[in-house]
Structure 1
Amino acid sequence: MTYVILHALAPIFVIMILGFYAGKAKMVDNQNVSLLNIFVMDFALPAALFAATVQTPWSGIVEQSPLILVLVLAMWIMYAAIYFICTKVFKKSPQDAAVLTLTVALPNYAALGLPILSSVMGDAPSTSLSVAVSIACGSVLMTPFCLMILEREKARLSGEKQGSSLALLPVLMWRSVKKPIVWAPLLGVIFSAIGIKMPEIFLASIKPLGLSATASALFLTGVILSARKLKINGPVLLSCVAKNLIQPFIAWGLVLAFGLSGQIAVTAILMIALSAGFFGIVFGNRFGVQSPDAEASLLISSVLCIVTLPLFISLTAALH
């Protein structure tokens, strides 16, 4: 099992190292990655997420509702807790806290979900469906929280007239929903729900974009990391422990509370037990927000995953 996990993690580290090298060698300007960021956030990732959700049968999504419930609650609980600690205890700015929090709360479903779940559950259609549902949950029900905070602080810093947070909520939500990274997977879910099937030629046309999504996002993350120095501090240590240990146990508690068992229970826990994701860092960079703690957490969490994932795979064996 350790080999399987290493096999799944290897592409992540290799691609990030290539991006890191490209940045350090000045092959890519690591101080100005706006063009690469636009490609990743506005084209590649939205195309991948739309394709994943629009091809997921609505009946399958409904059958996965217990999984959706556990994933969303585990992510929301972690997001609320880490954001509160970052802003109140560590006195981080809202933007920095939002980037770090999304990095911790949203697991790396896109890169690790399918290889890890396939190794445990087998290559059944339900495995791919579970991963697609997990990605949709994260992109539709998690990323808007981070985007709204980043939009709010961007407006505040630019001197825009500010009202109450409640009054600003519709505006912030609209700004978030307008971004392709949010509306693309949401549109896919809507199409799936009402039974609209996209023409095969269209799906074939955007497939290359989707295939490049994870690789380009990891390469971009490596380029961003090449401009920083890795620092380990309190927020980083807390984030890694919370992501790799506490959040999976939260998912486990939810599984027990809802009386779940079998494949759904194991899938929910293992999906949450994946390492930290890269969405937060990529989002932050798009808004000009640098979070060294989020970057360090991403790297350390990915390394720790080599130890913690086999632990949870062994512990969940009794739930099969």
Structure 2
Amino acid sequence: MTYVIVHALAPIFVIMLLGFYAGKAKKVDNHNVALLNVFVMDFALPAALFTATVQTPWAGIVGQAPLVVVLVLAMWIAYAAIYFLCTRVFHKAPQDAAVLTLTVALPNYAALGLPILGSVLGSTPETSLSVAVSIACGSVLMTPFCLLILEREKAKTEGTQHSSATMLPILMWRSVIKPIVWCPLLGVVLSAFGFHMPELLLSTIRPLGLAATATALFLTGLILSARQIRINQAVIVASVTKLLIQPFIAWGIVLALGLHGPLAITSILMIALAAGFFGVVFGNRFGVESPDAEATLLITSVLSIVTLPLFISLTAGM
């Protein structure tokens, strides 16, 4: 088991460390990562996830339904709890609370999902499909809540506020039309209709997908190299929630649903991943800086070196 854990995590953190070093050594501008982010989020990862979903039989896609239930419930519970604490206990502004909350609630599926599941369960179409499903859940069912709050507060400042009921469908649509969401969804639709993608087309886009994992990890390290650590109560609560409480929430849901085998392991390990960077990215887009979210992103990424092996070990017998 120790060999499996080391084999799973070593490449991940080595590549992240290279990205971190490149940013700190100024070999790459860690404050302007837009081009690399576009490559990962709009081209490489969508290609990898589309390839996975379109080659998966429809029955296999339907079998991912329990994973959706576990992920959505674990993310929503963490989101509600952290947002309540941020606004009522730590007295943060709504937009700052939204950025930190999304950072905690939405794991880093994009960068860490494929390498972790691939190392633990094997690099198969099923593991790639699970990552695609996870990203779609987070993009469509989580990010709109953060964007809704950011848009609402921006509208208040500009004096052009719209109702939340009007804005939410628009924001969900904006999430769906992102390549990282619609590409795997297109693969699902084609699979549902029994369409077989020509091998020539698959072999054409496959090299782009192969670049996804390493580039996403390098990008994560690069982003982390630009962050400053400022530890306070909010950061401690957020980090503990992300690394320990949220995965055990997922574990409880898995037990309640009676899941076992690879599906149960996937459900827990995907939630046990470090915090994602979508919250920080969205905050920057709206001019909202959240040092607490940045610190949580950095701390959870580092401490996941300890917590991920813990959950890999705990789920080994499921």
Instruction: Give the aligned partner of residue 177 of structure 2.
Output: 178
Q: What residue is the counterpart of 1:76 in the other structure?
A: 76
Normalised to the residue count of structure 2, the TM-score between the two structures is: 0.82
Residue of structure 2 equivalent to 1:37: 37
**Where does 1:226-237 land on structure 2 (aligned, <5 Å)?**
226-237=225-236
Aligned match of 2:255:
256
Q: CA deviation at 1:246?
A: 0.8
Moved more, 13-22 or 59-68: 13-22
Paired-residue identity, %: 77
Deviations 1:257-314 (A, max 9, x none): 2233344333322332233234434444455544333332233223333333343344
Shift of 1:60: 0.4
1:62, distance to aligned residue in structure 2 (A): 0.9
Identify unmatched segments of 5+ residues in structure 1: none
Cα distance in 1, alignment partners of residues 12 and 288 from structure 2:
23
Name the structure 2 match of 1:62: 62
Gaps of 5+ in 2: none
How is 1:155-304 mapped onto 2 (pairs within 5 angstroms)? 159=158, 161-304=160-303
The 1:44/1:85 distance shift into structure 2, 3 A limit, reads: farther
TM-score by length of 1: 0.82
Q: Are the aligned partners of 2:107 and 2:275 in contact in 1 as well (CA < 8 Å)?
A: yes
Looking at structure 2, the residues matched to 127 and 35 of structure 1 have their Cα atoms a distance apart, in angstroms, of: 28
* 8 Å Cα contact 1:54-1:188 kept in structure 2: yes
Q: Is the 8 A contact 1:86 1:92 kept in 2?
A: yes
Structure 2 contact 136–181 (Cα < 8 Å) conserved:
no
The residue aligned with 1:98 is 98
Shift of 1:185: 3.0
Q: Is 1:15–1:215's contact at 8 Å kept on the other side of the alignment?
A: yes
Please list the CA deviations of residues 105-161 of structure 1 after superposition, one character each: whole Å capped at 9, or x if unmatched. Answer: 22333444455445555667644544444344334433443344444455555x372
Distance change (3 Å), C-alpha of 1:114 and 1:41: closer
Alignment deviations for residues 209-244 of structure 1 (CA, whole Å, 9 cap, x no partner):
333333333333333333332222222211221112
Q: Match for 2:238: what amino acid?
A: S
Counterpart CA distance in 2 for 1:199 and 1:112 is 29
Are the aligned partners of 1:218 and 1:278 in contact in 2 as well (CA < 8 Å)? Answer: no
**Number of equivalenced pairs:** 318
Q: Secondary structure at the match of 2:78?
A: helix
8 A contact 2:144–2:168 mirrored in 1: no
Paired residues of 2:74 and 2:271 also in contact (CA < 8 A): yes
- Native 8 Å contact 2:18 2:221 kept in 1: yes
Alignment of structure 1 residues 125-140 onto 2, 5 Å: 126-140=126-140
Bigger drift between 227-236 and 29-38 goes to: 29-38
Secondary structure class of the residue paired with 2:211: helix
User: C-alpha displacement at 1:11, in angstroms?
Assistant: 3.5
Structure 1 SS opposite 2:249: helix
SS in 2 for 1:276: coil
CA distance in 1, matches of 2:64, 2:170: 32
Report if the CA contact (8 A) 1:9-1:112 is conserved: no
- d(CA) in 1 for partners of 2:36, 2:286: 14
Given that 2:30 and 2:225 are in contact with CA atoms closer than 8 Å, whether structure 1 keeps it comes out as yes
Cα deviation, residue 250, structure 1? 0.8
| Whole-Å separation in 2 of the counterparts to 1:267 and 1:223 | 27
Would the aligned equivalents of 1:152 and 1:172 in 2 still touch at CA under 8 Å? no
* Distance change >3 Å, CA 126–CA 176, structure 1 → 2: closer
Which amino acid is the alignment partner of residue 8 of structure 2? Answer: A
- Summarize deviations over 1:67-125 as a string: whole Å, max 9, x none: 22112211221122222322333233444333333332223334444554455556676
